[in-house]
Amino acid sequence: MSQPCGVIRDLLPLYYDKVCSDESRALVEEHLQTCAACGAELKTIEAEFQKPRSFKSAEQATLDSLKRFKAKMLRKNVIVGAVSVLCAAAVLIGLFAYAFSYEKVVPYQEGLVTVEVGTSGVIDVYCNLGREAGLRVIDKTITQEGTARHAVYLVYTDTYWARHFGKIADPSQTKFTLGQTVTVITKHGTAEAQDNGMGSFGIHDVGFGILDISAVYYLEGNFRELSFNEAAFERAAPNAILLWEKAA
């Protein structure tokens, strides 16, 4: 005799979990053979019990996706970090090169240069900046009023580092000699600093081997171009400032 649907539906969860007695299982199976409604109810129960398993799969898929995203972001961060380090290094190298290597012409101002006739007829030139400075020199034979004259054109240059940190207390450290001596560049700074390797190269007791100098000028400009480009020199020369001239 077929059991009422209400009784069978009460047994369906137990039947699905296989925890009902053999007699109850037999009654359910017998009923399901003739009752489509209770069969549909059993399928609903099966679907409900399978939902947690489906949820776990979806959760795992989400976790896997998050792991892939984190790995991708980690690779991206590593690349961005490496590029940032390289850019920072390039900036530091550029700043270092600018501070120590990039030279700017020192504009002429009254009192910047002192020119004196030294012993043996040499000409001593002193820079009065009170700091380290580079020196560029061009010697030229010029003709004025039909007379050939040997002239020296010079300009001082400095770097950012020299402008702010290259202080010089002793004016003799900037001495530049024009005449019969040989060009020599030595370290300047205190003897103790030199012994400790702290002295820096600069203008000190420098000789420039030119005889019979008629005039010394200060000429602002790019001395590399002025040295090798005669047309550029001729354009710039009229703006040169006379520092010293040999007495007639």
160-194 pLDDT, tens per residue? 988 888 888 776 778 888 874 433 334 444 444 33
- Please indicate whether residue 96 or residue 186 has the higher confidence score (pLDDT): 96
What is the arithmetic mean of pLDDT over 87-92? 92
Share of the chain above pLDDT 70, in %: 81
Vertex 101: Cα angle to 98 and 102 (nearest 5): 60
Query: What residue segments make up the domains of the chain, in order of their start?
Result: 5-72, 113-245
Residue 52's pLDDT is: 53
2-22 pLDDT, tens per residue? 678 888 888 888 888 888 888
What is the arithmetic mean of pLDDT over 201-219? 66
Q: Which residue has the tokens 């001082």?
A: 156
SS3 57: helix
Residue in 190, 189, 191, 188 with CA at minimum distance from that of residue 204:
188
7: DSSP letter:
H
Among the listed ranges 42-46, 82-86, 159-163, which one has the minimum average pLDDT value?
42-46
Residue 55's pLDDT is: 47
Q: Phi/psi of residue 34, each to 5°?
A: -120, -5
What is the arithmetic mean of pLDDT over 24-28? 84
- Say if residue 222's pLDDT is above 70: yes
